[in-house]
Structure 1
Amino acid sequence: MDTQLIRRRMARYVEMVDAGDIDGILGLYADDAVIEDPVGTPALVGLQAIARFYREGLGRTEASAQLTGPVRVAGNGCAAMPMRVDLMWNGEPCSLHVIDVMEFDDKGRIRSMKAYWGELNVERRPE
């Protein structure tokens, strides 16, 4: 697995979240991908469920996103990255600090994504 490709794909994911490009995000996923966002919630399997997740979440809010540290790539097609998503949370401007862990298939598509965050990782931003 090409570690530079994985690094670029993860950075591209953040760019697409920042741009609100849901179709672009979905294009990064394998057809049978699985996501858990946040970890501990029921897994969403397949592009149809994943599309609904992004359209009902990201698609309904003006969010911005940025990497907050380097992408860490393991040699087995897995990687992790810290990121911050700024959005409206319960009507208030907030920042969500998250670590995404992704596994990639042999074509460089996301096979699984797990987002590690909880309420302790949501901080209110001044307006």
Structure 2
Amino acid sequence: MSTVTIEKIVAAYFANIATMNPEGWVENFAEDALSYDPVGEPPTKVHEGFRQFIGQLQAVFEKLEPTTEHIFIAGNEAAVKWKMQGVSKTGKSVNFEGITIFEINEADKIQTIRAYWNPAAMVAQLRA
């Protein structure tokens, strides 16, 4: 698998979060894809209810702007260091960051993601 292909898949993943596009976001994933987001929580089957994830983002945020700082590609996987800036519907600004590991399958779909970040820190900013 080429690095260009993996970079395009990762870019589409974050672009669909930025536009809060549930259909486009889920389309990035294999039918049996698993998400560990965040790592430490039970895995979620992406195609079973993950449109709700984008729906939750739409309910809370007016704007989300992800930035990928570094992409490290090895084989069919990528480790991505990212930052996210957002503005809630109530006007609160949030900034958080993390690292997500993407495993891409032979069909150029995300098979597994493992996201390392602290949701509690983001929620605390929304409540401040």
Q: Taking structure 2 as the reference length, what is the TM-score of the superposition? A: 0.81
Offset of residue 46 of structure 1? 4.1
Rounded to whole Å, the distance in 1 between the matches of 2:23 and 2:65 is 16
Offset of residue 121 of structure 1? 6.0
User: RMSD over aligned Cα, in angstroms?
Assistant: 2.6
Equivalent pair of 1:34/1:113 in contact (CA under 8 Å): yes
Q: Match for residue 82 of structure 1?
A: 81
Please say if 1:105 is aligned against 2:126: no
SS of 1:71's equivalent? strand
SS of 2:48's equivalent? helix
Rounded to whole Å, the distance in 2 between the matches of 1:111 and 1:104 is 5
Please say if 1:43 is aligned against 2:16: no
User: What is the correspondence of 1:1-127 to structure 2 with a 5 Å cutoff?
Assistant: 1-55=1-55, 57-60=56-59, 61-75=61-75, 77-87=76-86, 88=88, 92-118=92-118, 122=122
Residue segments in structure 2 that go unaligned for 5+ positions in a row: none
Aligned residues: 123
AA matched with 1:59: Q
Rounded to whole Å, the distance in 2 between the matches of 1:120 and 1:47 is 25
Percent identity at matched positions? 24
Offset of residue 63 of structure 1? 3.4
Equivalent pair of 1:84/1:97 in contact (CA under 8 Å): yes
Offset of residue 27 of structure 1? 0.6
AA matched with 2:96: L
Offset of residue 92 of structure 1? 3.3
Moved over 6 A (4+): none
